[in-house]
Chain A
């Protein structure tokens, strides 16, 4: 397994790191308090080409390879998990269009998404349907060359500001995916506030009431909306989140290294206490292991290997678990300071927990990973 970066990837990594250090980390607690990410930040992201990170250059994006994109997710995730989630959904929707869109859909949407002129949301979850996502209740009916959508979606990241939504619905009992523009009559969004984590991810609930969209807005074919269209999105979602968790765990480690060199108890710096060293050592070790799983998945993704789907699931499962552990330990190491809004570790802890729930909860990942284990046994 290759783990070293190419010179170009290392150079990009430096640039991502500097961007996160200068523009994101210093502001992320404020985003969290305000429950929003300023338009200015999103503009900066677009100017850097990060909004269309994985869209090929010929389609108007930055054309990053999967390792480079992973490094971007790591650095953004280190700064703000909420901001990472906006990059994640932009990637999820753009990759679904790239893979399953027809030529006119690609031409219509990808260049604008690449430039960050259009922000996207991915809307699968509903008030009554989460993990059992194949059975969403939103309906789509074809009549007179248009589809009529009815139903509700919940917990949709970026839903407060997105221009374009990828909606998964049922058409005559078969899953189908549709592109819906915000200003479509019958399409309504309501902000969801006061979340525990991802507070600035600008979540929304969506209502579709006789929401009529052109027939051309069907993405892929009827019957393939979950397995193939959402399947493509979710694979990229898990990949982005796995790397984001590596970034989040690194933020925990960096905060802990810094704090334990400054605070003294019993006459010595915290870093001298062996039980503290134990937590630091676990953070470092878990972080390295998670990064290797992510790099492995990245190489498989770049080579289009079918095993990437399971390897990405493994990476997401592991990385989100170690992010939670790192964040819990980081708060522990910071003591009362860690529980206060003066230090970011409490935000890391709240955000890390969300990582275990989104893009297929960890129980769902465990179920799939275990089943795969039995399959490849013989």
Chain B
């Protein structure tokens, strides 16, 4: 999948959980309190289902989850053969 394809999927998922028009790719999700306490696990489940890999202990780093760019880079790194 292209990077743009990955980002589109992430954006479409986020639009169901974040009420912010024009969410930018670098906008911080967690540190700017855009999301509620349940969002963290919703995001984990989304990534696992959509991109077919498990998010694990070693992946628990805000750098992997905090923006569309961050999630996309994380997914591409994990999905790389």
Q: Give me the interface of A with B, judged by CB distance under 8 Å.
A: 100-102, 134, 220-221, 223-224, 226-228, 231-232, 235, 303-310, 313, 368, 371, 374-376
Across-interface contacts of B42 in A (CB, < 8 A): 306-307, 309-310
Q: Which residues of chain B in 47-81 are interfacial with respect to chain A, using CB atoms and an 8 Å cutoff?
A: 48-49, 56-58, 60-62
Knowing that A101-B57, A306-B45 touch, tell me 4 more A-B residue pairs with CB under 8 angstroms: A100-B57, A228-B60, A232-B41, A368-B38
Cα–Cα, bound, A66→B43 (Å):
20
Grouping DSSP codes into helix (H, G, I), strand (E, B) and loop, the B interface class, with mixed when no group exceeds half, is helix
Can you show 18 pairs from A to B with CB atoms below 8 A apart?
A100-B57, A102-B57, A221-B57, A223-B62, A227-B37, A227-B40, A228-B40, A228-B44, A231-B37, A231-B40, A231-B41, A304-B45, A304-B49, A306-B43, A306-B46, A308-B45, A309-B42, A313-B38
B2 partner residues in chain A, CB cutoff 8 A = none
Min CB gap B62→A, angstroms: 7
Residues of A with C-beta under 8 A to B40: 224, 227-228, 231
For A221, the chain B residues whose CB sits under 8 A away are 57, 60-61
Residues of the A chain whose Cβ atoms lie less than 8 Å from the Cβ of B48: 304
Number of interface residues of B (CB under 8 A): 23
Pick from A134, A235, A368, A374: contact of B41, CB under 8 Å: A235
CB A241 to nearest CB in B, in angstroms, measures 16
The docked-state distance in angstroms from the alpha carbon of A223 to that of B64 is: 13
Contact yes or no, A374 B57, CB < 8 A: no
Measured between beta carbons, the chain A residues less than 8 angstroms from B13 are: 306
Name B45's closest neighbour in chain A (CB-CB): A306
Count chain A CB atoms within 10 A of each CB in B40, B46, B62 and give the residue with the most.
B40
| Complexed CA–CA distance, A212 and B43 (Å) | 33
The reply to whether A220 and B49 contact each other, CB–CB distance below 8 Å, is no
Is A227 in contact with B41, judged by CB distance below 8 angstroms? yes
In the bound complex, residues from chain B placing their C-beta under 8 Å from that of A220 are 57, 60
Assess whether B4 is interfacial by the CB under 8 Å rule.
no
Give the chain B neighbours of A228 by CB distance below 8 A: 40-41, 44, 60
Give Cα A226 to B43, complex, Å: 15
Of the candidates A231, A304, A374, the one whose C-beta lies within 8 Å of that of B38 is A231
Q: Could you tell me if A309 and B60 are in contact, using CB atoms closer than 8 angstroms?
A: no
Near A by CB (< 8 A), chain B positions 5-30 give 13, 16-19
A233 to chain B minimum Cβ distance, whole angstroms, is 10
Residues of A within 8 A of B45 (CB): 304-306, 308-309
B32: interface (CB < 8 Å): no
A310:B37 contact, CB within 8 angstroms: no
Most buried by B among A232, A235, A308, A309: A309
- The closest CB in chain A to the CB of B13 belongs to A306
Residues in B with CB closer than 8 Å to A231 are 37-38, 40-41
Interface centre among A224, A226, A303, A307 (most CB of B within 10 A): A224
Task: Write out the residue numbers on chain B whose beta carbons fall within 8 Å of the beta carbon of A309.
Answer: 38, 41-42, 45
* Closest A residue by C-beta to B50: A306
Q: Quick check: A224 and B37 within 8 Å, CB to CB? A: no
Query: Which one of B19, B37, B56, B62 lies within 8 Å of A374 (CB-CB)?
Result: B19
Measured in the bound complex, the distance between the Cα atoms of B43 and A305 in whole Å is 10
Q: Which residues of A contact B49 (CB under 8 A)?
A: 303-306
Return chain B residues, CB-CB under 8 Å to A371. 36
Residues of A within 8 A of B41 (CB): 227-228, 231-232, 235, 309
Residues of B within 8 A of A305 (CB): 45, 49
B38 partner residues in chain A, CB cutoff 8 A: 231, 309-310, 313, 368
A370 to chain B, nearest CB (A): 12
